[in-house]
A = this chain, B = another copy of it.
């Protein structure tokens, strides 16, 4: 009665976890280009031989580590679209200020510009990040709160775009006043 196709060996899980944790740390600290297998091995205490036993290449390790950036998305339900949007954007603003992935994401975006595998990974990550926004808009459409001829992805861009812009390009803050301005503009 063995577990079918899963990795069950405790040693494997422990090694993998340690390697991924250290890879993640270097990823956040130095970006994709700053992750080195030698250093991951040195600091995590897992020998390089073992690392290459679990991942075929540095690239595979990076993609594996990046894929774990997305947290479980939460879709609020305050009753009104504006309330939901404000909640989501407030959370997003806080994440952009504090969360680890905020400093890694530009690295991924840059790499996705030239690497096909990372590009598909980024697409999946993006989909995960945007899912809650799509959800509240679709729900509002069903309730008639948003005209059906509004393209969902356009509304998402109107809501999220300004925040990404502020965090990574303009490097300005995002206070409640800004959140309100974005919500009012996008959900006019």
A contact residues vs B (CB 8 Å cutoff): 30-31, 33, 103, 106-107, 109-110, 113-114, 123, 126, 130, 150-151, 153-154, 156-158, 160-166, 168-172, 178, 181-182, 184-186, 188
Contact = CB atoms under 8 A, between A and B. Distances in A.
Nearest to A103: B113
14 contacts: A31-B110, A106-B110, A106-B113, A107-B113, A113-B168, A126-B171, A153-B170, A153-B172, A154-B178, A157-B166, A157-B172, A161-B164, A164-B165, A165-B165
A182 B169 contact: no
A162 B158 contact: yes
Contacts of A113: 31, 103, 106-107, 168
A182 B158 contact: yes
